[in-house]
């Protein structure tokens, strides 16, 4: 290796509204409404543009369209639901009841596109696409997702798997996807334990990724899984904001020193149930923006990260 590579920073956002929680529409998830989504997304867009940072907005296809398009799929959702794929049941109910509050993110999709962010794919209806999921369902999700993309003249190249359940990579690659955000659970077995993940939020010695991309089979690259920006709700609310900010600054400093990579992700709707995240998010993004302006760090989308690594191979 020649010298130290320049540090890179990526931010990806899982954009899904209520599609992401179709199997649990109770409790806190009821707070995901159109007006609250508008506030959360608006905040994120403003912070990113003030700091001149482009992110990867991973949209669930159905969250990127209007009611009319959602209605067109009702029949297909019905058939799948009747075949026993329970994910589609509450979706059919929502469409039949004409109850779209929290399910439509068309305006956010359009703003993301207009402001030059990458649009990445986060499933069609957010049905998990992991290796244990029936091929039939995965094929339906991919074909329908690409149909929506075509309608929008969108060239989808990267995937953030719903629930981070990675699978069916051959099918994804055959359909034009070149990279995906890997799952931390897959990489680090112990991190699958949610209590250990909370404890890890107190770890100020987390390092940046220094390993580069994992080139998987089927010509599709698994990119570093990144870290979830702490969502201070439930047990996670005990983590002080100052500590979260310090932890991220340390990881970013490590990246600058060693030419590493840092990837931050969360769901924009997390800001609804944990408004404190606005503060940690803007502090981290301001810090990244400052380093990027000084030339110490490059910010890149998932797709650009893949392209940068491919060039160096």
Task: Select the span of 26-34, 162-170, 249-257, 302-310 touching Zn ion (CB under 5 A).
Answer: 162-170
By CB under 5 A, tell whether 16 contacts Zn ion: yes
- CB nearer Zn ion, residue 20 or residue 268: 20
Task: Select the span of 15-23, 107-115, 230-238, 248-256 touching Zn ion (CB under 5 A).
Answer: 15-23
By CB under 5 A, tell whether 118 contacts Zn ion: no
* CA 87 centroid distance within chain: 20
By CB under 5 A, tell whether 14 contacts Zn ion: yes
- Compute how many residues bind Zn ion; rule: CB under 5 A: 4
Look at the alpha carbons of 34, 111, 273, 192 in this order and tell me if their dihedral is positive or negative.
positive
Pairing verdict, β 214-215 and 221-223: antiparallel
What backbone phi and psi angles, to 5 degrees, belong to 173? Answer: -65, -40
- Hunting for tokens 């179709």 — which residue is that? 22
For residues 129 and 181, the answer to whether their CB atoms sit within 8 Å is no
- CB nearer Zn ion, residue 181 or residue 303: 181
Task: Select the span of 13-21, 101-109, 216-224, 294-302 touching Zn ion (CB under 5 A).
Answer: 13-21
- Hunting for tokens 């979706």 — which residue is that? 91
Using DSSP, state whether 148 is helix, strand or coil.
helix
Shortest Å distance, C-beta 18 to Zn ion: 11
- CB nearer Zn ion, residue 145 or residue 162: 162
By CB under 5 A, tell whether 141 contacts Zn ion: no
Shortest Å distance, C-beta 87 to Zn ion: 13
Task: Select the span of 148-156, 160-168, 181-189, 291-299 touching Zn ion (CB under 5 A).
Answer: 160-168
By CB under 5 A, tell whether 201 contacts Zn ion: no
What is the footprint of Zn ion within residues 18-57 (CB under 5 A)? Answer: 20
In angstroms, the CA 67 to CA 297 distance is 41
Element (H, E) at 272: helix 270-273
First-to-final CA distance of the chain: 11
The CB density around residue 167, as the number of other CB atoms within 10 Å, is 16
Chain residues in the site for Zn ion (CB under 5 A): 14, 16, 20, 162
């Amino acid at each position: 290796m020649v010298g130290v590579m320049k540090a890179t920073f990526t931010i990806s956002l899982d954009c899904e509204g209520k599609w992401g929680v179709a199997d649990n529409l109770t409790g806190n998830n009821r707070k995901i409404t159109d007006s609250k989504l508008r506030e959360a997304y608006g905040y994120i867009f403003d912070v990113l543009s003030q700091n001149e940072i482009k992110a990867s907005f991973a949209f669930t296809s159905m969250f990127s369209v209007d009611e009319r398009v959602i209605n067109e799929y009702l029949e297909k959702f019905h058939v799948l639901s009747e075949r026993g794929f329970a994910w589609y049941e509450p979706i059919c109910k929502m469409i039949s009841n004409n109850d779209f509050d929290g399910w439509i993110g068309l305006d956010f999709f359009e703003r993301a596109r207009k402001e030059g962010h990458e649009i990445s794919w986060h499933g069609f209806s957010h049905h998990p696409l992991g290796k244990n999921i029936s091929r039939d369902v995965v094929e339906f999700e991919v074909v329908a997702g690409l149909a929506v993309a075509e309608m929008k003249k969108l060239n989808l190249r990267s995937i953030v798997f719903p629930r981070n359940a990675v699978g069916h990579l051959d099918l994804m690659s055959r359909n034009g996807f070149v990279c995906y955000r890997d799952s931390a659970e897959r990489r680090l077995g112990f991190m699958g334990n949610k209590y250990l993940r909370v404890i890890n939020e107190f770890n100020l010695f987390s390092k940046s990724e220094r390993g580069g991309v994992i080139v998987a089979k089927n010509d599709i690259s698994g990119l570093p899984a990144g870290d979830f920006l702490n969502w201070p709700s439930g047990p996670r609310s005990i983590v002080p904001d100052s500590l979260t900010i310090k932890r991220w600054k340390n990881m970013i400093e490590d990246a600058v020193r060693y030419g590493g990579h840092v990837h931050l992700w969360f769901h924009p709707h997390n800001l609804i149930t944990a408004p404190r995240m606005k503060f940690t998010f803007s502090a981290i993004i301001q810090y990244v923006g400052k380093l990027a302006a000084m030339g110490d760090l490059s910010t890149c989308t998932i797709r650009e990260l893949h392209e940068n690594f491919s060039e160096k191979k």
